[in-house]
Structures are given as structure tokens and as C-alpha cells.
């Protein structure tokens, strides 16, 4: 496995990789969710590239950039064990050198949900992902359903800017109690960690209602909200039942829905989602998740 920081080194090493390349962008502090993307990329491509970069442009001034978890040595060992070929670990100065002033703004699909609560977040995401696509020139790029709006934004950006690659969406990997794996879960104290499974329970309650025939958006949102309200440590940021492509809130679910929510547990903000498919009782997390284009 080659680990590089400078863009010139990345380009040189990239040129030595023949056949197809699968890219997995990450912010490090790797867990099984990240590794599931790496394994999928490995299964579908001749070579796998991974980026580890905590992207300052996607954090607001009041967010957790300075205390975001780092574990570079351990991350590199995990990636080596998975048979990854090339890892890019740039510093902020390499990605955004002095004088940098070019950003990518995806419009409508970046506005609601996370976009509304985290102004500028998707501008940072779209910009860094475009730079990663240019630097690695991958054939496929792997993203987790965990960050569903990110998938929709990245798919839109890749299509609009004619990046010649396939975006592959991988199912959310969960802890035994249903909590979606996240680098931010390390912030939770034991009591908060127990509470955190409420996101999954709220999504399951709404999915259960949907499978039983409930199609009113307001009811699905209310079911999630009341499941969270029973937990004194949990504070709702938003609950949503939206069109999986446009992310507009639905009055009535007619052709599937993206159920999503953001909840604060103490000082930690967690997100999760389920994709409801058109056919009732169908499995939520199919190998080829289709939403956002």
C-alpha cells in the first residue's frame, strides 16, 4: 500500500495502477462502515484508493472540526489489511493552498435537511469530492447511505459536471442495537450511547407504519418525533419524510420516501435514515440503493 500526501505524488502513483480504480473518500477514524465501502470497492475494481481528509470546508465555525477524532496510524493499518493500494492523506494546505478560491455549490437538493441546519456544509462536500475525483480519476466512487443527502448532492454534482464515473451507494452498517456506525459515536458517554439507539427505533416505528399502509407524510414524521420524545437526553433537530430524489417533504408517499432525522444526544449530533421503497415489506437496504438520480 502506498500512502502519499502531495498531489504530484498521488498523480504519479495513480498512473501506475492499471485497470479500474474504486475510490472511497473518508475523514478517517475508520470503522466497519468505512471498511464495508472498501470491501465493496475491492470486489468491484482492480485497485482501490482511499482518501483520509478531515475537510475544514464542510464544517461550520461552531462545529466539531478541532475535536474530530483522528487515528491515522490505526486507519492505515486497517486499510493495509484490506488490501488497499493507494491512500491519500493530504493536509488542508495541500487541498486548499494559499489563494484558493474555487467552490462548487449544488443548488436545490443541497438546501433542505442537513443543508438548512449546516449552512455551507454541502458546498464544502461538493468541492472536496470534485477535487478527489480529479485527483484520483476513479472509475467508481463509493459512498454510504448513512449520509443520504450527501449521496444525492454528490450524484447531482457528478452528473452536472460530467465526471465519467459511477457513484455506488452502500448500505448503512449498524451496531447490534441498530445505532448507525459513525466516527462521532466516540463522543457519547455510556448513558448517551444507550439513548442513541432511539434514532433507529424511530425509523423502525415509521417503517412499520408504512409497511402497514400509512402513507401520510405528517403521520410518518409524527411517529418518528414521538419515538424520540420519550428519551429525555434526545433533542430533535429534524424529522423528515421526503422524496428520495428531490428531498422535498412529502404530503403523501406515492413512490417511496427517504425517512431521515437528525437528533442531538447531549452535545453530539447524530443522523440516520431509511429508504422506503415503493413495494411494502420490501427490504430497506438492497444491494443497489436507488435514490437521487
Question: Is 95 a residue that touches ligand AMP (CB under 6 A)?
Answer: no
Does the active-site annotation cover 34? yes
Partners of 273 in the beta sheet? 260
The DSSP call for residue 277 is P
Distance CA 254, CA 244 (A): 11
Question: Is 284 a residue that touches ligand AMP (CB under 6 A)?
Answer: no
Question: Is 124 a residue that touches ligand AMP (CB under 6 A)?
Answer: no
Strands in the chain per DSSP E: 2-4, 21-26, 47-52, 86-88, 140-144, 166-170, 234-242, 257-265, 268-276
- Helix 7-15 / helix 121-136 crossing angle, nearest 10 deg: 50
Question: Is 182 a residue that touches ligand AMP (CB under 6 A)?
Answer: yes
Question: Is 272 a residue that touches ligand AMP (CB under 6 A)?
Answer: no
Of 124 and 217, the one with the shorter C-beta distance to ligand AMP is 124
Question: Is 87 a residue that touches ligand AMP (CB under 6 A)?
Answer: no
The tally of CA atoms less than 13 A away on the side-chain side of residue 240 is 26
Q: List the catalytic residue out of 34, 47, 85, 121.
A: 34
For the CB of residue 79, give the shortest distance to ligand AMP in the complex, in Å. 13
**Using an 8 Å Cβ cutoff, are 46 and 18 in contact?**
yes
Question: Is 268 a residue that touches ligand AMP (CB under 6 A)?
Answer: no
Distance CA 75, CA 31 (A): 9
Q: Looking at 121, 146, 155, 156, which residue binds ligand AMP (CB under 6 A)?
A: 146
Q: Looking at 181, 239, 258, 275, which residue binds ligand AMP (CB under 6 A)?
A: 181
Question: Is 183 a residue that touches ligand AMP (CB under 6 A)?
Answer: yes
Which residues are tagged catalytic?
34
Residues binding ligand AMP (CB under 6 A) = 26-27, 33-34, 36-37, 143-144, 146-147, 170, 172-173, 180-183
Amino acid at each position: 500500500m502506498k500512502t502519499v500526501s502531495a498531489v504530484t505524488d498521488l498523480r504519479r502513483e495513480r498512473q501506475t495502477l492499471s485497470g479500474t480504480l474504486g475510490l472511497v473518500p473518508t475523514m478517517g477514524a475508520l470503522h466497519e462502515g468505512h471498511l464495508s465501502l472498501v470491501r465493496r470497492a475491492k470486489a468491484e475494481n482492480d485497485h482501490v484508493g482511499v482518501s483520509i481528509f478531515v475537510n475544514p470546508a464542510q464544517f461550520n465555525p461552531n462545529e466539531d472540526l478541532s475535536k474530530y477524532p483522528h487515528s491515522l496510524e490505526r486507519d492505515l493499518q486497517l486499510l493495509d489489511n484490506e488490501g488497499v493500494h493507494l491512500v491519500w492523506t493530504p493536509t488542508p494546505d495541500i487541498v486548499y493552498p494559499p489563494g484558493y478560491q474555487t467552490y462548487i455549490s449544488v443548488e436545490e437538493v443541497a438546501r433542505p435537511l442537513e443543508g438548512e441546519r449546516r449552512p455551507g456544509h454541502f458546498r464544502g462536500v461538493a468541492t472536496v469530492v470534485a477535487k478527489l475525483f480529479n485527483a484520483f480519476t476513479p472509475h467508481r466512487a463509493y459512498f454510504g447511505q448513512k449520509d443520504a443527502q450527501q449521496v444525492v448532492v454528490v450524484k447531482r454534482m457528478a452528473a452536472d459536471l460530467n465526471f465519467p464515473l459511477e457513484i455506488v451507494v452502500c448500505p448503512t452498517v449498524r451496531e447490534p442495537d441498530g445505532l448507525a456506525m459513525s466516527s462521532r459515536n466516540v463522543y457519547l458517554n455510556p448513558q448517551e450511547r444507550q439513548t442513541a439507539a432511539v434514532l433507529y427505533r424511530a425509523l423502525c416505528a415509521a417503517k412499520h407504519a408504512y409497511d402497514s399502509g400509512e402513507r401520510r407524510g405528517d403521520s410518518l414524521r409524527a411517529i418518528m418525533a414521538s419515538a424520540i420524545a420519550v428519551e429525555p437526553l434526545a433533542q430533535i433537530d429534524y424529522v423528515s419524510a421526503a422524496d428520495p430524489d428531490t428531498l422535498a417533504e412529502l404530503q403523501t408517499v406515492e413512490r417511496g420516501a427517504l425517512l431521515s432525522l437528525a437528533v442531538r444526544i447531549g452535545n453530539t449530533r447524530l443522523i440516520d435514515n431509511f429508504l422506503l421503497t415503493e413495494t411494502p415489506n420490501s427490504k430497506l437496504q438492497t444491494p443497489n440503493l436507488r435514490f437521487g438520480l
